[in-house]
């Protein structure tokens, strides 16, 4: 009995010795990335196009990399909070930034964004989205420009809200305001669903966002699309019968 | 107005990590199922290399700075 115990102890020690040796060797062997979940920090709220896009890709990437890819929403001005959260994280590949179209933010926040941007190395790739103008009134870009060129300024007050301050839609809104000369107050929202509700409640009269938010509303004609300036809009949402640039006779 | 999304990592992230992620992202974006899902929300799946993404970002910064200046949009 005693002999058996000794033998077991000796054998156990040998195993422990081998285990210790393996542990000692482990740091020298490079672990394959990823060995733990990866976090995508998204500078938008939940429910918007970027959020949906990120979650579709995160799901597939999880399968491809055999590791969970988790989306964390961190909306805020210009995506700066999200960007800072990433660049202050270890550069180990486990915290990544979902980059929105950053240049408008960079141009408007020149003192802040370049330093944030410089914290990033290369982006990986991305999807391309197209945004358009929609509103409950038909205020076409061409019409508004004509008023501006004729020296007339419309006196009605329109508000339109964009997705999140300093994201790409706000410079688009600013550009629209500048080109049309309309008296517009821009009010930022943090997520798309809230803007749709505000539009339907008539809190605002125009919104700039991605088309995906409104197909059902357009179909039931509770909202109307203003003129669209891209060539092949219809292939995304054929059911909405959105006018193309050619159909709208928009020339500029 | 065209918007794009991409993925960025902090400086000094190992190149192997970037290459692995880029390869996975390219494969995912090439999947017809993914393209169909993204198409429903108005997104065109188009992968790029890290170099292309950085070039696009840099060029867009210049472009939008010019737009802001020419349109007289006040800087805030």
| pLDDT of amino acid A245 | 58
Q: How many CB atoms lie within 10 A of CB A206?
A: 22
> Residue A87: is its pLDDT beyond 70?
yes
| pLDDT of amino acid A217 | 62
Q: Tell me which residue has tokens 């508000």.
A: A159
A231 vs B: CB within 8 A: no
In tens, the pLDDT along A89-103 reads 888 889 988 876 644
Please answer whether residues A123 and B57 qualify as being in contact, where contact means their C-beta atoms are separated by less than 8 angstroms: yes
Nearest CA in chain A to B74: A108
| pLDDT of amino acid A178 | 75
Least confident residue range of A27-41, A71-85, A177-191: A177-191
Please answer whether residues B62 and A107 qualify as being in contact, where contact means their C-beta atoms are separated by less than 8 angstroms: no
Please answer whether residues A112 and A80 qualify as being in contact, where contact means their C-beta atoms are separated by less than 8 angstroms: yes
Q: Per residue, what are the HEC states of A238-249?
A: HHHCCCCHHHHC
CA distances from A220 to A131, A135, A161, A224 (A): 21, 14, 22, 9
Percentage of residues of chain A with pLDDT beyond 90: 10
Q: What is the number of CB-based contacts under 8 A between chain A and chain B?
A: 219
Q: Is B61 in contact with A107 (Cβ distance < 8 A)?
A: yes
Residues of B in contact with A176 (CB under 8 A): none
Pick the closest to residue A97 from A132, A66, A126 (CA basis): A126
Considering chain A, what is the average pLDDT of its residues?
A: 61
| Residue A248: pLDDT band with limits 50, 70, 90 | low
CA atoms within 13 A on the CB side of A239: 11
In tens, the pLDDT along B1-30 reads 667 777 888 878 888 888 898 889 889 989
| pLDDT of amino acid A37 | 96
A90 vs B: CB within 8 A: yes
Q: In chain B, which among 3-62 make CB contacts under 8 A with chain A?
A: 3-14, 16-18, 20-22, 24-29, 31, 34, 37-51, 53-54, 57, 60-61
| pLDDT of amino acid A222 | 62
Q: In chain A, which among 116-175 make CB contacts under 8 A with chain B?
A: 117-132, 168-169, 171-172, 174-175
Q: Per residue, what are the HEC states of B5-60?
A: CEEEEECCCCHHHHHHHHHHHHHHHCCHHHHHHHHHCCEEEECCCHHHHHHHHHHH
CA dihedral A213, A218, A219, A220 (to 10 degrees): 110
Report the range out of A40-49, A90-99, A110-119 with the highest average pLDDT. Answer: A90-99
Pick the closest to residue A180 from A134, A210, A140 (CA basis): A140
Q: Is A108 in contact with B37 (Cβ distance < 8 A)?
A: no
A193 vs B: CB within 8 A: no
In tens, the pLDDT along A4-27 reads 433 433 444 444 444 444 444 444
| Residue A77: pLDDT band with limits 50, 70, 90 | low
Q: Which of the two residues, A142 and A37, has the higher pLDDT score?
A: A37
Please answer whether residues B44 and A128 qualify as being in contact, where contact means their C-beta atoms are separated by less than 8 angstroms: yes
Report the range out of A62-66, A204-208, B41-45 with the highest average pLDDT. Answer: A62-66
* Kind and range of the H or E run holding B62: helix B50-71
| pLDDT of amino acid A39 | 94
ipTM score for this prediction = 0.90
Q: Is A60 in contact with B51 (Cβ distance < 8 A)?
A: no
Q: In chain A, which among 100-119 make CB contacts under 8 A with chain B?
A: 100-104, 106-108, 110, 117-119
**β-strands A38-42, A69-73 pairing:** parallel
Please answer whether residues B8 and A99 qualify as being in contact, where contact means their C-beta atoms are separated by less than 8 angstroms: yes
Report, as an integer, the average pLDDT of A218-223.
Answer: 63
Percentage of residues of chain A with pLDDT beyond 70: 37
Helix-helix angle A141-149:A169-180, to 10 degrees: 40
DSSP A136-178: SS---HHHHHHHHHTT----S-EEEEESSTTSTHHHHHHHHHH
């Amino acid at each position: 009995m005693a002999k058996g115990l000794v033998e077991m102890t000796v054998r156990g020690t040998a195993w422990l010795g081998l285990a210790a040796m393996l542990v000692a060797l482990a740091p020298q062997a490079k672990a394959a990335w990823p060995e733990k979940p990866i976090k995508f920090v998204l500078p938008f709220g939940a429910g918007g196009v970027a959020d949906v896009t990120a979650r579709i890709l995160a799901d597939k990437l999880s399968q491809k990399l055999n590791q969970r890819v988790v989306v964390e929403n961190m909306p805020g001005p210009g995506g700066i909070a999200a960007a800072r959260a990433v660049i202050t994280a270890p550069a180990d590949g486990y915290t990544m930034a979902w980059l929105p179209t950053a240049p408008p933010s960079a141009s408007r926040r020149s003192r802040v964004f370049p330093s944030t941007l410089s914290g990033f190395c290369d982006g990986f790739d991305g999807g391309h989205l197209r945004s358009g103008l929609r509103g409950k009134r038909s205020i076409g870009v061409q019409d508004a420009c004509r008023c501006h060129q004729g020296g007339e300024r419309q006196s009605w007050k329109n508000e339109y809200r964009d997705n999140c301050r300093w994201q790409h839609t706000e410079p688009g809104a600013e550009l629209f305001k500048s080109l049309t000369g309309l008296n517009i107050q821009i009010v930022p929202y943090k997520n798309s669903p809230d803007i749709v509700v505000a539009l339907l409640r008539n809190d605002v009269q125009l919104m700039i966002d991605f088309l995906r938010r409104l197909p059902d509303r357009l179909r039931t004609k509770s909202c109307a699309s203003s003129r669209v300036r891209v060539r092949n809009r219809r292939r995304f949402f054929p059911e909405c019968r959105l006018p193309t640039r050619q159909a709208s006779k928009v020339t500029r | 107005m065209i918007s794009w999304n991409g993925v960025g990592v902090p400086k000094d992230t190992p190149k192997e990590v970037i290459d692995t992620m880029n390869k996975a992202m390219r494969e995912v974006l090439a999947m017809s199922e993914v393209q169909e899902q993204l198409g429903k929300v108005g997104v065109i799946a188009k992968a790029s290399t890290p170099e292309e993404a950085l070039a696009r970002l840099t060029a867009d910064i210049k472009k939008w700075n010019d737009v802001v200046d020419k349109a007289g949009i006040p800087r805030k």
